[in-house]
Amino acid sequence: MPKLILLRHGQSQWNLENRFTGWVDVNLTAEGEAQATRGGELIKEQGIEIDLAFTSVLTRAIRTCNLALDAAGQTYVPVIKDWRLNERHYGGLTGLDKAETAALHGEDQVKIWRRSYDVPPPELEAGSDYDFAGDRRYAGSVLPLTESLKTTLDRVLPFWEATIVPELKKGETVLVAAHGNSIRAIIKLLFDLGDAAILEVEVPTGNPLVIELDDNLRPMSAHYLDVDRANTLPVLGALSS
């Protein structure tokens, strides 16, 4: 039976500082490292054998992937990195303090930017410190200047279909170590969630979400391995529009 483990990276320095992060390559905090390691220990305790892992090109997700595989005793598992699993691009909000931005623009506006399905934040301004066009990780790719969850899903989807789906269809156990919003995009797709239902889904950092799938990749069951840090699970077809 195909099995998918979705693992949001452990706490990052900017999660801790409450800053809009997106594609900025911040590292894990010591607590984030501990969360990733704990996630791997739980994978080991459950006797889960991972065949293949996928992660983004951002340090916090790559290190989470590596720390979890190490702690699971499965350092040897092949890992594929691709920018299409990156966090959603936060556009002109990148680097700003979330509380200060709420004080400036209002809580409601910030909630729309953070959690509406298809309203993107303002675009990144030309010449910004957070322009990734010259970064060789993205050479040859057309990069966004901002992303909503919808446009994040639009770029996750081709990678998901071309690269991850064929492995799952072979019955493999796949780890995806990624980011709050690239994981929410995959959850929306898998659980066939409506645009409103996905807004309620918050994935905790460093807590493996294990999803057993049928042969058509419909979720049969889902559970977080760390029950003490679990959030509400998505419900198949919730508010599907």
Ligand X SMILES: O=C(O)[C@@H](CO)OP(=O)(O)O
Can 9 be counted among the known catalytic residues? yes
The verdict on 87 binding ligand X (CB under 6 A) reads yes
Q: Which is nearer to ligand X, 52 or 61 (CB)?
A: 61
Q: What distance in Å separates the CA atoms of residue 214 and residue 212, rounded to the nearest whole number? A: 7
Task: Tell me the sheet residues that pair with 219.
Answer: 213
| From 19-27, 73-81, 136-144, 155-163, span contacting ligand X (CB under 6 A) | 19-27
Name residues contacting ligand X, limited to 20-49 (CB under 6 A): 20-22
Q: What distance in Å separates the CA atoms of residue 9 and residue 199, rounded to the nearest whole number? A: 19
Q: How far is the CB of 61 from ligand X (least distance, A)?
A: 11
Can 147 be counted among the known catalytic residues? no
The verdict on 114 binding ligand X (CB under 6 A) reads yes
Name residues contacting ligand X, limited to 133-172 (CB under 6 A): none
The verdict on 191 binding ligand X (CB under 6 A) reads no
Q: What distance in Å separates the CA atoms of residue 69 and residue 77, rounded to the nearest whole number? A: 7
Active-site residue, from 17, 41, 49, 87:
87
Burial (CB count <10 Å: 0-12, 13-18, 19+), residue 125: exposed
25-37 b/e with 16+ CB inside 10 Å = b? bbebbeebbebbb
108: enclosing H helix or E strand: helix 107-115
81: enclosing H helix or E strand: strand 79-81
> One-letter amino acid identity for 59?
T
Name the closest residue to ligand X (Cβ): 21
Q: Which is nearer to ligand X, 37 or 56 (CB)?
A: 56
Interaction site with ligand X (CB under 6 A): 15, 20-22, 87, 90, 114, 180-181
Hey, which residues are catalytic here?
A: 9, 87
Residues making up the annotated binding site for substrate are: 8-15, 21-22, 60, 87-90, 98, 114-115, 180-181
